[in-house]
Amino acid sequence: MPASPAFDLGGRVALVTGSSRGIGRSLADGLAAAGATVVLNGLGKARLDRTRAELAERHGSDRVHASPFDITDEEQVVTAVAGVEGDVGPIDVLVNNAGIQHRVPMLDLDVADWRRVIEHNLTSAFVVGRAVARRMVERRRGKIINIGSVQSDLARPTIAPYTAFKGGLRNLTRAMAAEWGGANIQANSVAPGYIHTEMTQNLVDDAVFNAWVVGRTPAGRWGSSADLVGPTVWLASAASDYVNGQTIFVDGGMTAVV
Ligand code: NDP
């Protein structure tokens, strides 16, 4: 039961891209715990079905749905969004979460890999965001949450396209607020610090990198997916109705210190 009715997501439909595992899965779980009906998304149908079954055990099968589609394919996106709205209901909350990483020093980076990361991450947030927003604008209500990172503000060597994507996503969030705010849509970004997931397991296992994260983060630890749930529920709920175009860093204080 939410602490305040303003945070209650009962009756809301939330689509979370890339939620078959990792951070997206935890966010979908948290949104459902706050009362939302959630629609999971991913590429692999088997994993998606497994996650759907697991979350349905906790929240009920009527409140956990799955929509396998490729966020980089505009035709699939438009068809899937229409399908979700027809089968589950109008999408009140979109979380643009799915993302890929590619680590190579910039001098050795193939242009094809640069394009792949930007297309997969930044262009998809625009494509999925617009497909959903076209419907939200008509209803004059909606919440869009783009998942950023500390790279929304800061760079690190070997991840230039990811850094460009997350910086671009911060400004895409502002552009969404600028264009759709008048239709009562709030677009904000949750920017996680270093979170222990499958994507970062190799970094957790790297003693030098692990020591750097722990030493560089005022909280003195890696984040968990659960750390991201509260801010996401807040940005999905009426409690944040006058917050728009913002990037909220959930990073244990990393971006606040040098
Ligand atoms: P994971 O690699 O654990 O999960 C990625 C998810 O995206 C999976 O559900 C995967 O589905 C899905 N996916 C991948 N490609 C597509 C596609 N083309 N269409 C649809 N779904 C797709 O990622 P994380 O949980 O680590 O990261 C999620 C987000 O959080 C990303 O935006 C990342 O940049 C951000 N982030 C992560 C941090 C971390 O420390 N992990 C820190 C800061 C930000 P499938 O299972 O089918 O492959």
Report which protein residue has its CA nearest ligand 1's atom 48. Answer: 43
- Determine the pLDDT at residue 54: 98
Is the pLDDT at 84 greater than 70? The verdict is yes
| Catalytically annotated residue among 162, 165, 194, 222 | 162
Q: Which of 27, 120, 199 to mutate to test the pocket of ligand 1 (most atoms within 8 A of CB)?
A: 199
Task: Give the number of the atom of ligand 1 that is nearest the alpha carbon of residue 166.
Answer: 34
CA of 60 to the centre of ligand 1 (A): 24
Contact present, 9 and 35 (Cβ < 8 Å) = yes
CA of 36 to the centre of ligand 1 (A): 21
Task: Give the number of the atom of ligand 1 that is nearest the alpha carbon of residue 43.
Answer: 47
Report which protein residue has its CA nearest ligand 1's atom 40. Answer: 195
Domains of the chain: 5-195+224-256 (3.40.50.720)
Query: pTM to 2 decimals?
Result: 0.97
The number of residues making up the chain comes to 258
Q: 150 CB contacts (<8 Å, ≥6 apart)?
A: 191, 192, 193, 194, 249, 251, 254, 255
Residue type, 105: P
What does the mean pLDDT of the chain come to? Answer: 97
Give the span between the Cα atoms of 203 and 181, in whole angstroms. 38
3-state SS string for the chain: CCCCHHHCCCCCEEEECCCCCHHHHHHHHHHHHCCCEEEECCCCHHHHHHHHHHHHHHHCHHHEEECCCCCCCHHHHHHHHHHHHHHCCCCCEEEECCCCCCCCCHHHCCHHHHHHHHHHHHHHHHHHHHHHHHHHHHHCCEEEEEECCHHHCCCCCCCHHHHHHHHHHHHHHHHHHHHHHHHCEEEEEEEECCECCHHHHHHHCCHHHHHHHHHHCCCCCCECHHHHHHHHHHHHCHHHCCCCCCEEEECCCHHHCC
Is the pLDDT at 1 greater than 70? The verdict is no
The model's pLDDT over 229-254, given as tens digits with 9 standing for 90+, comes to 999 999 999 999 999 999 999 999 99
Contact present, 55 and 27 (Cβ < 8 Å) = no
The model's pLDDT over 154-188, given as tens digits with 9 standing for 90+, comes to 999 999 999 999 999 999 999 999 999 999 999 99
- Determine the pLDDT at residue 92: 98
Per the annotation, the verdict on 162 as an active-site residue is: yes
Average pLDDT over residues 11-20: 98
Residues touching ligand 1 (Cβ under 6 Å) are: 17-24, 41-44, 47, 70-72, 97-99, 147, 149, 192, 194-195, 197-200
Q: 133 CB contacts (<8 Å, ≥6 apart)?
A: 94, 142, 144, 176, 180, 185
Contact present, 31 and 226 (Cβ < 8 Å) = no
The model's pLDDT over 42-82, given as tens digits with 9 standing for 90+, comes to 999 999 999 999 999 999 999 999 999 999 999 999 999 99
For 202, the token pair is: 């190799």
